[in-house]
Amino acid sequence: MNWETERVLSTSKFFRAFSPSNIALAKYWGKRDVKLNLPTNGSLSVTLKSFGSFTTVEFDPSFSHDRLILNGAHEPENKMNKVARVLDEVRALAKTSMRARVQSMNNFPTAAGLASSASGLSAVTFAASQALGLNLDRAKLSEIARKGSGSACRSFWEGFVEWKQGDFDDGTDSVGSSVATKNHMPMKIFIAVVNQSQKNHASTGGMEHTKKTSPFFKAWVEHAQKQTPEIKTAVLSKDFEKLALLVESNCIAMHASAMASIPGIFYWQPQTLEIIQKVYQMRSMGLNLFFTIDAGPNVVIFSQEDSSSKVLSELNTLGVRILNTEIGDGARAFDPNEWQGEA
Ligand code: PMV
C-alpha cells in the first residue's frame, strides 16, 4: 500500500516528510502541564534510522475541514485532537485558515509502544510548516510538535537528543536539542515485538493516572531528574557499561511507578519479562547490551556492534518478531521514490 491513498490536488500547497521514531534512554513520564505537554522531568532519546512516518500534508482552500488518513484508513474526527493542535499552531504562524488533508503511514506497528505518535506528530509539524512556506528552525518545530505529543519534540535531530524540562510556563524553553551525532556511539537496535496490537493505556492517560494515584510518582520524578543528566554524561563519555545500568534502572523505575498506580497499570506481558531475563543471560555471557521499554509490552534492545550478531541470533530463539535498525537522522523532506513499503 502507498502512504498516499488519495491523490494530491494540483492546486494545493503540500509537502512530503519522513520523520523517525525515537526511543527514550531517559524517559518522559509525567506532565506538569497537560495542555502544553510540559514534562515533570527532562528526557533523552535515540533517533531510529529506519522506523518512522511517511507523511504528506496538503492545504487547499477547497477543504472544509481537517482530515487524517492514517495507514490508509480515515481517522474519525474525535481522534484528530493531536494533529489538529499542531495544524492550528502552524496555521496561526502562517496566517492562514486553510484546512488540511494529512496522509500518513508508519512503517512499523502503530500504537504498540514504539512511539508512533513521536514520528507522526513530528512529521505533520515539519510537512505542514514547509507546505505553508514557513522556514522554521528545529527548535521551533520541536516546540510545536511537543504540543501534539511530548516525545515528538525529540524527532528533529539525528543521534542522541535531549528534551529539557524547561522553566517557563509557556513552554518555549521545553524543546529538544542535539546531544551527539548518530556516529558518536554506534549501536544496533533490536525491537522484540511482543504484541502488535494497540496498547491498553494511552501514554497521556497512563501518565496522569500515575501522577494522581501512584505512591511512587514523586520518587520516580526525583529519580528521573537525577538520572537524565547522568545518562547524558554516560553518552558523552561513551561509557557503555554505565549507560546500560542507568537506562535499565530508568526504565524499571518508570514502569514501577505506573504499576503502583491504583488500579495498577501493567504495560508488560509475560514475554516482556522473558526477554528481560534473556538480556540478563546474554550479559552474563559477556555480551554488551541493554534494554528499555516504552508504554507497551515490546522490548527495545541496544547492542554494541561487536556483540550484535550474537545478540540477534540469541533473540531469534525467543520466537517473537525482531525488528532491527540503527541510530539515524532526524525529520527530513521525503522523495516519493524512497518509499519502500512497510517493515
Ligand atoms: O509522547 P507520548 O505521549 O507518546 O509519551 C511517551 C512516553 C514514553 O514513550 C513511555 C517515554 C518517552 O520518553 O518516550
Which tens digits make up the pLDDT trace of 95-148?
999 999 999 998 876 544 565 789 999 999 999 999 999 999 999 999 999 999
Q: Which of 21, 25, 27, 125 is the best mutation target for the ligand 1 pocket, counting ligand atoms within 8 Å of the beta carbon and taking the most? A: 27
Q: Is pLDDT at 1 greater than 80 in this prediction?
A: no
- With a CB cutoff of 8 Å and minimum separation 6, the contacts of 64 are 99
Which tens digits make up the pLDDT trace of 218-261?
999 999 999 999 999 999 999 999 999 999 999 999 999 999 99
CA of 248 to the centre of ligand 1 (A): 16
The atom of ligand 1 lying closest to the CA of 43 is 13
Question: Where is pLDDT greater, at 299 or 114?
Answer: 299
Q: Which residues line ligand 1 (CB under 6 A)?
A: 24, 27-29, 43, 115, 117, 149-151, 203-204, 294-295
Strands 67-70 and 99-106: parallel
Task: Provide the pLDDT for residue 111.
Answer: 43
- In the chain, the amino acid numbered 130 is Q
Task: Provide the pLDDT for residue 67.
Answer: 96
Would you say 10 and 16 are in contact if contact means Cβ atoms under 8 Å apart?
Answer: no
Count CB neighbours of 291 within 10 A.
23
Task: Provide the pLDDT for residue 302.
Answer: 98
CA of 205 to the centre of ligand 1 (A): 11
Q: Is pLDDT at 343 greater than 70 in this prediction?
A: no
Which tens digits make up the pLDDT trace of 187-216?
999 999 987 665 567 888 999 999 999 999
Helix, strand or coil, per DSSP, at residue 297: coil
Q: What number is the average pLDDT over the span 319-326?
A: 92
CA of 327 to the centre of ligand 1 (A): 18
Residue that has been written with the C-alpha cell 532491527 in this structure: 324
Q: Is pLDDT at 64 greater than 80 in this prediction?
A: yes
CA of 150 to the centre of ligand 1 (A): 7
CA of 191 to the centre of ligand 1 (A): 16
Q: What number is the average pLDDT over the span 76-103?
A: 95
Q: What number is the average pLDDT over the span 296-310?
A: 95
Closest CA to ligand 1's atom 6: 151
Count CA atoms within 13 Å of residue 37 on its CB side: 23
